[in-house]
Amino acid sequence: MRKIVASDASLAVSARLALALAALLVAAMLFPAFAAEPGPWKLGLQDAATPMMERINSFHNMLLWVCFLISIFVLALLGYVVVRFNEKANPVPSKTTHNTLVEVLWTAIPIVILVAIAVPSFKLLYYTDKTKDAEMTLKIVGHQWYWSYEYPDFGEIKFDSNMIAEKDIKPGQRRLLEVDNRVVLPVGTNIRILMTAADVIHAWRIPAFGVMKDAVPGKLGETWVRIDKEGVYYGQCSELCGINHAYMPIAVEAVSKQKFAAWVEEAKKKFASNDPASAASQVAEQKRD
Ligand SMILES: [Cu+2]
């Protein structure tokens, strides 16, 4: 009698555990965007800061439901087979080898599912490809192992952006993410992004923007961004590019249009000495190091 009580209790506990797990899973799918930036115990993708990332987020959530429902369906079929066709329940197995209806269904239904996924997927692909009405352009060049940025609409603004070394980090700065010169961009503006590399393939990636694009030497890649909220956004090079691949982070400071105009005036003076000739000599110096 005691034994039964004990197993009843443990059954109740495992039922509760299973319920809690199921609730967590459902919560994770219904409210996937907990994170404005990575942090302990956060679930889902980073909060979207651009319309592009919003669409990527909802596409991701839609796919999660598709995966979830298919997994449940397969699990149910498996359970049915285990119960209905085990040796005891079904001592004389059927010798059936073909069933036209079932074969047509298991070919046609996956095709329908894949087409249903492909349509929004291609739409999203073309949406992220380029913007028709760019208001300004940012040119990004990947180097071993730093990024350089150019603002062709605002004269000769051109600068390198290097990671702040661990020993120079000040309180409040992020280790391995903070840079000496952040990219400053205005919010609410369609920004065309052109991308290339000077040596090997790099990739410019900011998770909150939904932008991840290879910077390929000898090729000019294009994408775009429209940032909704002011703030600082971090990203990293996402293409293995050599020994310091992990040490060429990206920091974007999104500011209001007025602040951006003020920054442009400041930057014109600050980076005036960064003409192409001196930039080339800088690269040569770094290569010698
Ligand atoms: Cu790189």
For the chain, 289 residues long, give each residue's pLDDT as a single digit of tens. Answer: 444 444 455 556 566 666 666 665 555 554 443 335 777 887 888 889 999 999 999 999 999 999 999 999 999 999 999 999 999 999 998 898 999 999 999 999 999 999 999 999 999 999 999 888 899 999 999 999 999 999 999 988 999 999 999 899 888 888 999 999 999 999 999 999 999 999 999 999 999 999 999 999 999 999 999 999 999 999 999 999 999 999 999 999 999 999 999 999 999 888 876 655 444 445 444 554 4
What amino acid occupies position 259? K
Q: From CA 146, how far away is CA 247, in angstroms rounded?
A: 8
Ramachandran class of 81: left when φ > 0, alpha when ψ lies in -120 to 50, beta otherwise: alpha
Distance 206 CA to ligand 1 centre (A): 13
Distance 122 CA to ligand 1 centre (A): 28
Strands 211-215 and 202-206: antiparallel
Could you tell me the two tokens for 13? 């506990």
Q: From CA 163, how far away is CA 184, in angstroms rounded?
A: 16
Could you tell me which of 71, 94, 90, 92 has the C-alpha nearest to residue 82? 90
Distance 215 CA to ligand 1 centre (A): 9
pLDDT tens-digit series, residues 110-156: 999 999 999 999 999 999 998 888 999 999 999 999 999 999 999 88
Architecture of the domain made up of 136-275: Sandwich (2.60)
Distance 218 CA to ligand 1 centre (A): 15
Distance 42 CA to ligand 1 centre (A): 27
The angle at the Cα of 205, spanning 193 to 148, to the nearest 5 degrees, equals 60
Distance 261 CA to ligand 1 centre (A): 30
Residues with CB under 5 A from ligand 1 (ion): 202, 237, 241
Distance 286 CA to ligand 1 centre (A): 15
DSSP 85: S
